[in-house]
Amino acid sequence: MRKVIWVLFGFVVWACQDTDLGGNPQAIIDKAIEVSGGAYYDSLRVSFRFRDILYASERGARGKVLSRSFVKDSAEVLDVLEGGSFTRRINGSVVAVPDTMAVKYANSVNSVHYFARLPYGLNDPAVMKKYLGEVLIDGKLYHKVEVTFREEGGGDDFDDVYVYWFDRKSNKPDYLAYEFHVNGGGLRFRKALNERYIGGIRFVDYLNYKPTSDEVSVYELDSLFMKGELELLSRIEIRDIQVNPGSYN
């Protein structure tokens, strides 16, 4: 009888813990960040290459410092986004950039770093989270969480909508989808693969899909993926990853 009681007690405790985590999107995201790198995101300098461009991120005096560097027409270009301000240097000298182009460049820098650092950015002040329930993908249970943004602090694409699927056991985001509005808008669904930990931080590549019809919702993309009704667009890979101590301070 005592054994039965302990088994029942253990089941109740497990169920309560699972329910508490499952119903609370903030708890899910906090756990995802913890298992993906936690404090390492803020204390280490990260660099990687994406499409032959070198990206780097670290913590500076005014918060996150995001950069990219590349060579164009034999000139060395360095773009830096810090404290909401964008600066471009060519061969070491600051150059003037029209406001419209500065916004475009800044958004491009931020977007690449955002995806490379996931799930870290999901606790930014402008982020709003909503729990959408549990779903089954390829035999695994996932917490489905919607992420939207406040207009203040949410950037020019604050009206984009994201959905993340967090493995209920590992707490890692294995899938994500988003609805965007720039350049004509559209929907994308990404599957994480090639997971590796470098310097304590989780990095992944992605298979990038889109729906074959425009008459679908971002919330349906997991179902369409399971039915094989998404078109594979590309494989998104980051390479030459380096994680080191350091900052601009």
Cα gap 51→91, rounded to integer Å: 21
| pLDDT at residue 12 greater than cutoff 70 | no
What is the mean predicted confidence (pLDDT) over 154-183? 88
Closest CA to 88 of 73, 106, 72: 106
pLDDT confidence band for 7 (50 / 70 / 90): very low
Distance of CA 136 to the CA centre of its chain: 21
Give me the CATH topology for the region 25-245: outer membrane lipoprotein receptor (LolB), chain A (2.50.20)
Closest CA to 40 of 164, 165, 204, 197: 197
DSSP label of 106: H
Instruction: Please write the tens of the pLDDT for every residue from 80-111.
Output: 999 889 999 999 999 999 999 999 999 999 99
Q: Are 53 and 67 in contact (CB under 8 A)?
A: no
pLDDT at 158: 67
pLDDT at 22: 58
pTM for the model stands at: 0.86
Query: Can you count the helices (H) and strands (E) in the chain?
Result: 5, 14
Q: Hunting for tokens 């360095």 — which residue is that?
A: 78
